[in-house]
Structures are given as C-alpha cells and as structure tokens.
C-alpha cells in the first residue's frame, strides 16, 4: 500500500501486515496519535470490525510487534481509514513548591439568596464589600490588603484585621461567629444589615436579622466545582494526555466497573444504588478457559449455562446508596498500591458520580469540555497489614494509601456499549442486555426490581471487561 501522508487516509482491501508496516514507518516522523477505523477480513468468511483510538508509537509497537508470531497477518485484509491526530499541547513542568503551570483548580460558584451571599473564588472579602456598598472599591481595598507585611500573611484578609480595616475606610463591617454568637469587632458606629460569615475559609455575607437562616442557605448552596480547561493545551499542563492508552500495568490491577442510578424525586440528582466491578485478570482467565474447552464456539452461540453462571459470579456487585463506599472498601483488600477502574462513559457520567459521592477529594481530576477524563482518588479505607507491607518496600515512596484512578474507555464517543459488544467476538449471552428499560427504576421501586437490574448491571460490566 502507499505511504500514509494525509490526515485521513482511506484504504481498500490492503494486506493488514502492510498497513501495520505503513503505520510503523509513519511513526518515525509523526508526533501524535493514530486512529484505526475499519474492518479486517480473513480469506474465507471471517470478518471483524476494528476501531482503535489514541495509539501512539510506544503502545502501537507493544501491541503489534508479536502479531506475526501469533498469527499469519498475510491472510488478513484491511478496509477502512487511518486518521492522524497531531499533538496540540505543550508540557509544562510544575515547580517544586506546587505553584507551577496548571489551571485545573477548584472554583466556587456565586450564589445570591434572600438571606445570604456567596461570592466566587478570588478576593472574596472585597467582592462582599463591593456588594454591600454597591460600588467598586477593588483597587483601593486590594492596595491596603497587599500592604500587610509578608510575615503577617501578605495579601490575606483575616478576621483580626476587620477592626483595622473599618478604621482605615470609615466602615462598620462585622463578622459573626456562630460558636459564641459574638460579632467582631464589637464596637462599630453603625450596625449594617449584612455581616460577614466565614465558611470553609471563604468570606460570605448573611443578614444580621436572619443569621441562622443565612448560614443554613450558605451550607446548602456552597458549591465547589473544578475549573474547565479552555482548550487542549490546558489538558496537558499536568502531563501529555494519552487517549485510551493505559500504562504498563498488569491485568490484576485493572478493573471494569459500572453503576446504576435513579433520579432523586425532588432534586433530580442521580443517586447510585448499585456498583458492579470485575477484575480483568480473573475475566481473562475465565474466557481463556472457555475458549480452550469450546474451541468451536461461534460468536452467535451462547456459552453453556454452568460457565455463564461462573462468569456472572466473577462480577462483584455492591447494592445500596452507599455502593461506591462498599466498592472502595472491597478494593482495599487488593495488594496493589495503584489500581485503574475503567468505565464506558466515565468522562460523561460515571466519574461525575464518583466525584459527587467521594467523602474526601484527594487529587485534582482532569476535566475538559469533554468531561472528567481521569479522576484519581486515594482510597480512604486502610488495610493496616497492607500498609505495613508497603511501608517496608523502599521503592514505594510517599504515603501508603492505595491510589485508584477512575478513567474512561472513550469508546462511547464512537459506539454504544451494545454496538461495541455486538461487533466483537463475545458469545451472545455475554453482551449487553438491550431490552431493559433502566429508566423505570426509581427512588421508590429500585429495591423490589433487583431481580431485573442485577443481571443487566452484571452483563454491562462483563461486556465492557471482555471488549
């Protein structure tokens, strides 16, 4: 076949071994990733759809270097397209003090209620002042705050400086402390309708006459979210993004997982009631065993019932609105410092569910307009014996918690899980169950319909893990 020169090259009935060689040659000069989308056909009647996204040179050579040893590539012909995706980012090294080039930080959403006001992040004290006085004094106030000596927390407004601030600008601001129900400073020449309240080290406002109600509204509406990257360059301010490319981890540290949710009646929030999880090494061994026992099994044939039941039992299921916590507790038994959990539509939904249900956010998720591409989390549940073991291993640095990375298969961008399973060589009864109306399970009835959604949830995870 001809060389790959265009951003999108159409190929018809070319030897797959020639396609592999052409891609290998292209990687000698091309800096980026390659997408393969088409089908390979063996002389005879075997046909298989192929869609591989996000290959770089290293992973491409790792996967296809031994292809000729395991099969005769000269018997396969490829028809489809090769798409070149150039890297459009620049890696920025972070400084040692942790102030380096990344914009992937938390932000606070503004909220304006009848009895409270929550400003956005950054200069929250000045934003509250401007709102009460209905004028913009940002420059004057910031010059004053920046005048504090470095030893006394330069540029930081504190509760203790409120009295000094009032004297400087002839104002009467006070801050309310709910623990002792006192105002600071006590003596002001005029009691304003609005007073400061410090929530999570963030200056907010509450009405003097409705302090308890204002505090409750702040607690109900205070929302921290993650700043969205504006473009692909921001994505790689931490590290170059490698779509659909896993690090060189063994299968025993890789898991496929899924969750089922219902929509909360009042808030319409998605509440998880079930998580399913399967270890890819266990699944691979079971599938290899089935292939060895039934070498003539066709994709359209179901696997025997006894092996189907065994496969379904390999899938772990956690039931209840605390199912994510249950899953994390289960994972803590694995003697692996780092685990990767893969979901089909992680960036669009699953990773958001974990983010909303995590008791403590320990790392910054990688969020772009495409969604949360990666969400690292330190497992809050600690197995003391494993921690002692890891502590004895000198090659393990840092703390001795288990680190879990929730990531995305990215296949959902070009194919549904059902279509993905149907295009594979999976036995028919291991593919996604397509005729279940998952939307009918609600806050009031999900428990009584467990006999319906449990096999559906397990099959989803089996299908994802096997694909």
Alpha-carbon 351 to chain mean position: 4
Yes or no: say if 377 and 354 are a contact pair by the CB < 8 Å rule. yes
Regarding the domain with residue range 249-466, which homologous superfamily does it belong to in the CATH classification?
Ribonuclease H-like superfamily/Ribonuclease H (3.30.420.10)
Q: Is the pLDDT of residue 33 over 80?
A: no
DSSP track, 370-416? TEEEEEEEE-S---HHHHHHHHH-TT--S--S-EEEEEE--GGGT--
Taking the C-alpha atoms of residue 111 and residue 362, their distance in angstroms, rounded to an integer, is 25
Q: pLDDT for 252-286, tens place per residue?
A: 788 888 888 988 877 778 889 999 999 988 888 88
pLDDT of 228 reads 46
pLDDT score of 5: 62
Percentage above 90 pLDDT, the chain: 10
Q: Which residues pair with 366 in a beta bridge?
A: 374
Predicted local distance difference test score (pLDDT) of residue 239: 32
**Cα–Cα distance list, 273 to 172, 321, 329, 385, 422 (Å):** 51, 5, 16, 30, 27
The CA-based angle 15-21-27, given to 5 degrees, is: 140
pLDDT of amino acid 224: 67
- Largest pairwise CA distance in the chain: 94
Task: Examine the pLDDT at 446 and tell me if it is beyond 80.
Answer: yes
Q: Which residue has the higher pLDDT, 286 or 364?
A: 286
Between 4-18, 88-102, 396-410, 411-425, the lowest mean confidence (pLDDT) is in 88-102
Asked which of 208-217, 341-350, 393-402 is least confident by mean pLDDT, the reply is: 393-402
Answer with the residue of higher pLDDT: 51 or 78: 78
Residue 225 has what pLDDT? Answer: 62
Average pLDDT over residues 227-241: 36
Print burial letters for 176-206: b (CB count within 10 Å at least 16), e (below 16): beeeeeebbbeeeeeebebbbbbbeebbbbb
Per-residue confidence (pLDDT) for residue 235, from 0 to 100 = 34
CA geometry: angle 230, 409, 453, nearest 5 deg: 120
Tell me the C-alpha distance between 427 and 300, whole Å.
6
Q: What pLDDT sits at residue 36?
A: 80
- Reported confidence tier of residue 92, pLDDT bands at 50, 70, 90: very low
Domain spans in the chain, listed from the N-terminal domain onward = 8-86, 106-226, 249-466
Q: Say whether pLDDT at 305 is over 70.
A: yes
Averaged pLDDT score across all residues of the chain? 75
More confident of the two residues 450 and 306? 450
- Helix (DSSP H) and strand (DSSP E) numbers for the chain: 15, 19
pLDDT level of residue 391 (50, 70, 90 thresholds): low
- Under the banding of pLDDT at 50, 70 and 90, the label for residue 308 is confident
Instruction: Evaluate if residue 237 carries a pLDDT over 80.
Output: no
The answer to whether 241 and 96 have CB atoms below 8 angstroms apart is no
pLDDT band at 104 (very low <50, low <70, confident <90, very high): very low
Q: Map residue 151 onto helix, strand or coil.
A: helix
């Amino acid at each position: 076949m001809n060389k790959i020169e265009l951003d999108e090259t159409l190929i018809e009935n070319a030897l797959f071994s020639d396609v592999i060689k052409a891609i290998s040659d292209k990687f000698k000069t091309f800096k980026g990733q390659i997408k393969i989308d088409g089908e390979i056909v063996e002389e005879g009647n075997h046909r298989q759809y192929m869609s591989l996204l996000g290959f770089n040179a290293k992973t491409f050579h790792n996967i296809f270097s031994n292809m000729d040893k395991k099969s005769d590539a000269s018997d396969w012909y490829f028809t489809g397209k090769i798409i070149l995706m150039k890297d459009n980012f620049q890696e920025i090294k972070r400084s040692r003090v942790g102030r380096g080039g990344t914009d992937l930080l938390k932000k606070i959403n503004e909220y304006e209620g009848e009895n409270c006001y929550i400003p956005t992040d950054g200069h929250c004290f000045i934003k509250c002042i401007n709102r009460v006085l209905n004028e913009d004094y940002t420059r004057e106030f910031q010059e004053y705050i920046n005048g504090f000596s470095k030893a006394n927390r330069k540029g930081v407004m504190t509760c203790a400086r409120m009295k000094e601030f009032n004297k400087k600008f002839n104002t009467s601001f006070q801050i309310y402390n709910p623990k002792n129900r006192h105002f600071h400073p006590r003596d002001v020449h005029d009691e304003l309708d609005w007073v400061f309240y410090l929530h999570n080290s963030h200056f907010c406002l509450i009405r003097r006459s409705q302090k308890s109600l204002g505090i409750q509204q702040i607690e109900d509406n205070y929302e921290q979210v993650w700043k969205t990257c504006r473009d692909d360059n921001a994505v790689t301010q931490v590290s170059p993004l490698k779509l659909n490319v896993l690090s060189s981890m063994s299968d025993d540290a890789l898991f496929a997982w899924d969750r089922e949710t219902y929509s909360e009646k009042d808030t319409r929030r998605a509440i998880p009631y079930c998580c399913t999880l399967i270890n890819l090494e266990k699944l691979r061994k079971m599938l290899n065993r089935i292939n060895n026992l039934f070498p003539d099994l066709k994709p359209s044939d179901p696997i025997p019932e006894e092996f189907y039941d065994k496969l379904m039992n390999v899938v772990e299921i956690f039931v209840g609105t605390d199912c994510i916590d249950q899953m994390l507790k289960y994972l803590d038994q694995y003697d692996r410092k780092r685990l990767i959990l893969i979901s089909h539509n992680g960036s669009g939904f699953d990773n958001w569910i974990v983010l909303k249900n995590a008791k403590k956010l320990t790392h910054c998720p990688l969020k772009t307009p495409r969604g949360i591409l990666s969400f690292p989390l330190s497992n809050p549940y600690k197995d003391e014996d494993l921690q002692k073991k890891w502590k004895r291993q000198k090659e393990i640095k840092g703390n001795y918690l288990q680190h879990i990375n929730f990531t995305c298969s990215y296949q959902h961008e070009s194919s549904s899980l059902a279509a993905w399973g149907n295009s594979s060589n999976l036995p028919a009864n291991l593919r996604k169950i397509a005729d279940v109306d998952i939307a009918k399970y609600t806050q009031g009835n999900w428990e009584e319909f467990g006999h319906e959604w449990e096999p559906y949830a397990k099959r989803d995870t089996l299908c994802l893990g096997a694909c």
